Amino acid sequence: MRVSHEFGPYINKDSRVLILGSIPSLKSREYGFYYMHKQNRFWKVISDIFDDEFPDSLSDKKEFLRKNKIALWDVLESCDIEGSSDSSIKNPKVNDIKSLILGTDIKYIFVTGKKALDLYNKYCFKSVGIEAIYLPSTSGANARLSFNNLKEKYEIIIKCLKK
């Protein structure tokens, strides 16, 4: 099934880091925002590393991102995909990440999951010129990493924001 990104990036003038997934999951497309599947651990991990309250509502999530200088988007604008399975992605069309970050203070790009890393490196790195920093997927399907392991990996975001 051909899937297109149905909502835009979250970014504001103060964003200093960009976190990229591959393409929104079925639940994220349904809710119109990033990492919205109830079993995805992204919001719990990210709020914990910032020692902040869990952002429950969509407006809370956006406010959390704004105050912590985080932008969110995905590597892909569209692709053929089965359900939400990154491993099934075919015929990718990438987003224009270079134009998104032009004129911003974004110095660090993180990618969540191996597929997002592979896609970014293959299609985006050359034009964007910022090496992506790999973060493991927070998807419930990635059960091999514990919550604490994920937090340890994601703490690099804090370190980059302090530079």
Tell me the per-residue pLDDT of 76-134, one tens digit each, with 9 for 90 and over.
999 999 888 888 899 999 999 999 999 999 999 999 999 999 999 999 999 999 999 99
Give residue 93's pLDDT: 96
Domain residue limits at 107: 2-162
pLDDT in tens, 140-153: 777 788 999 999 99
Give residue 143's pLDDT: 74
Give residue 33's pLDDT: 97
CATH code: domain of residue 40: 3.40.470.10
- Which residue type does 3 have? V
In percent, the amount of the chain with pLDDT more than 70 equals 100
The structure's pTM equals 0.95
Give residue 115's pLDDT: 94
| Cα end-to-end distance, the chain, whole Å | 42
Give residue 140's pLDDT: 76
Q: Is the pLDDT of residue 25 over 90?
A: no
Give residue 107's pLDDT: 95
Neighbours of 47 (CB within 10 A): 18
How far apart are the C-alpha atoms of 21 and 10, rounded to whole Å? 12
Give residue 96's pLDDT: 97
Range list of β-strands (E), 95-144: 108-112, 132-135
**Number of domains the chain contains:** 1
Range list of β-strands (E), 1-155: 2-4, 17-21, 70-74, 76-80, 90-94, 108-112, 132-135
116 to each of 29, 71, 102, 134, how far by Cα in Å?
17, 16, 21, 9
